[in-house]
C-alpha cells in the first residue's frame, strides 16, 4: 500500500491492476449498494409493511416498553435507517472515487474531492429514490428524507475525514515528526 492511500483502501496506482478491472473493483460495490436502495424502494418496504416485523424484533429485544409509543419508535427506526444507510453508501462512494481519481491531484485535495463527490453522489441517489417513491401509493417521496440521507452522508464523511487524519497523524508520530502537518508529511513521503 502506498503512503498516499487512505487507511484500509488499496492504492489507485497498483501496477498489477489493469485500469478496467480497477474501475470495476471500484464501482461494483457502489452499484450493488444502490441496487439495495432500488429493491427497498417499493411498496413492500413501506411503513405499513415494516411495522409488524420491526415490532416483533424490538419487542423481543426490549420487551413491552416498545408498546408505549410504537408508532413514534417505528418512525425513528426508519429514519435512523435512512441516515446510516445512506451514510454507509457515501463511504462506499468515497472508496470508488478514491480508486478512480488519479494521483496527479495533491493528497489533501484528492481526499476532500472524494469526500465531496461521495456526498453529492449520495444526494443524487437519495433524490432519485425519493422521486421514485412519490409514485407509490403507500410511500412518500419527501425532500426531508433527501436532506436526512444527505446529512447521514455528510456526517459519516466528516467522521471518515477525521479518522483518516488521525491515522495520518499517528503515521507522522511513528516517523518521528509529530509536529508536522500529516498531509504535508505524507505528500513528501509519496
Q: Are 74 and 55 spatial neighbours (Cβ–Cβ below 8 Å)?
A: yes
**Residue 22 Cα to chain centre, angstroms:** 20
Using pLDDT thresholds of 50, 70 and 90, give the confidence band for residue 108.
confident
pLDDT of residue 2: 45
Helix locations, 43-106, DSSP H: 47-62, 70-100
* Mean pLDDT, rounded, for 120-149: 91
Predicted TM-score (pTM) of this structure: 0.78
Residues 43 and 139: beta-carbon distance below 8 Å: yes
HSE-up (13 A, CA, CB side) for residue 150: 19
Condensed to tens digits (0 to 9), the pLDDT of residues 45-54 reads: 766 777 788 8
The answer, yes or no, to whether residue 30 has pLDDT greater than 70, is: yes
Distance CA 103, CA 186 (A): 13
Q: Determine contact, residues 94/7, Cβ cutoff 8 Å.
A: no
Give tens-digit pLDDT for 138-187: 778 889 999 999 999 999 999 999 999 888 888 878 887 766 555 554 45
Q: What is the 3-state secondary structure (H, E, C) of 36-50?
A: HHHHHCCHHHCHHHH
Among 94-103, 105-114, 124-133, 170-179, the range with the most confident prediction by mean pLDDT is 124-133
Averaged confidence pLDDT in the chain: 82
pLDDT of residue 127: 96
Domain boundaries, the chain: 19-189
Rounded mean pLDDT, 70-91: 92
Q: When comparing pLDDT for 35 and 139, which is higher?
A: 35
Amino acid at each position: 500500500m502506498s503512503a498516499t492511500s487512505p487507511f484500509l483502501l488499496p492504492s489507485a496506482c497498483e501496477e498489477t491492476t489493469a485500469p478496467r478491472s480497477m474501475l470495476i473493483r471500484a464501482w461494483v460495490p457502489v452499484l450493488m449498494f444502490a441496487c439495495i436502495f432500488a429493491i427497498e424502494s417499493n411498496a413492500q418496504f413501506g411503513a405499513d409493511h415494516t411495522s409488524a416485523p420491526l415490532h416483533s424484533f424490538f419487542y423481543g429485544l426490549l420487551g413491552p416498553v416498545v408498546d408505549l409509543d410504537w408508532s413514534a419508535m417505528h418512525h425513528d427506526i426508519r429514519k435512523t435507517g435512512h441516515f446510516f444507510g445512506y451514510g454507509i453508501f457515501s463511504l462506499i462512494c468515497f472508496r470508488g472515487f478514491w480508486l478512480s481519481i488519479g494521483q496527479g491531484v495533491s493528497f489533501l485535495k484528492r481526499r476532500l474531492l472524494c469526500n465531496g463527490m461521495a456526498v453529492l453522489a449520495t444526494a443524487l441517489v437519495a433524490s432519485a429514490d425519493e422521486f421514485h417513491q412519490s409514485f407509490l401509493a403507500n410511500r412518500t417521496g419527501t425532500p426531508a428524507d433527501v436532506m436526512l440521507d444527505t446529512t447521514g452522508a455528510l456526517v459519516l464523511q466528516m467522521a471518515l475525514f477525521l479518522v483518516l487524519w488521525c491515522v495520518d497523524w499517528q503515521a507522522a508520530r511513528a516517523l518521528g515528526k509529530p509536529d508536522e502537518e500529516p498531509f504535508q508529511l505524507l505528500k513528501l513521503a509519496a
